[in-house]
């Protein structure tokens, strides 16, 4: 989804991909019942109310979501190892 969002920005001649926000609303603060990615650019020029809406704890960026998913995957693997070899994990 993020790659498609970036492609759309490039097609719309957005050249500064450092000044964008790609992300998702966090439940229960959702307005539509399907997964969708918000693509905001240039992010530095959004209205103040929108800036709050897209930087609060009800919104997670694509990068933050990927980091959390990777950390959870790593933690689950470590937890699995701890269950198999509890004496080594101590």
- 41 close to 9: Cβ distance less than 8 angstroms: yes
The predicted-structure confidence for 38-58, as pLDDT tens digits, reads as follows 999 988 887 666 666 676 778
Active-site residue identified among 25, 34, 36, 38:
36
Q: Is the pLDDT of residue 82 over 70?
A: no
Question: In 1-90, which ranges are E strands?
Answer: 21-25, 38-40, 59-61
* 26-36 residue pLDDT tens: 888 777 888 89
Sorted by sequence, the CB contacts under 8 Å of residue 59 that are 6+ apart come out as 23, 24, 25, 26, 29, 38, 53
Give the mean pLDDT of 70-79. Answer: 69
- The predicted structure's pLDDT at residue 86: 46
How far is Cα 83 from Cα 81, in angstroms, rounded to an integer? Answer: 5
Cβ count within 10 A of residue 82: 12
Residue ranges of domains in the chain: 2-89
Reply yes or no on whether the pLDDT at 5 is more than 80: yes
Is 36 part of the annotated catalytic residue set? yes
Distance from C-alpha of 47 to C-alpha of 2, rounded to nearest angstrom: 23
Looking at the predicted structure, is the pLDDT value of residue 9 above 90?
Answer: yes
């Amino acid at each position: 989804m993020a790659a498609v969002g970036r492609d759309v920005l490039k097609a719309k001649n957005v050249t500064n991909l450092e000044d964008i926000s790609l992300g998702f609303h966090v439940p229960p603060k959702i307005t539509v019942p399907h997964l969708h990615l918000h693509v905001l650019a240039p992010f530095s020029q959004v209205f103040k109310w929108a800036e709050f809406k897209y930087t609060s704890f009800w919104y997670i960026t694509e990068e933050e979501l990927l980091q959390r998913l990777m950390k959870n995957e790593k933690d689950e693997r470590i937890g699995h190892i701890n269950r198999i070899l509890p004496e080594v994990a101590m």
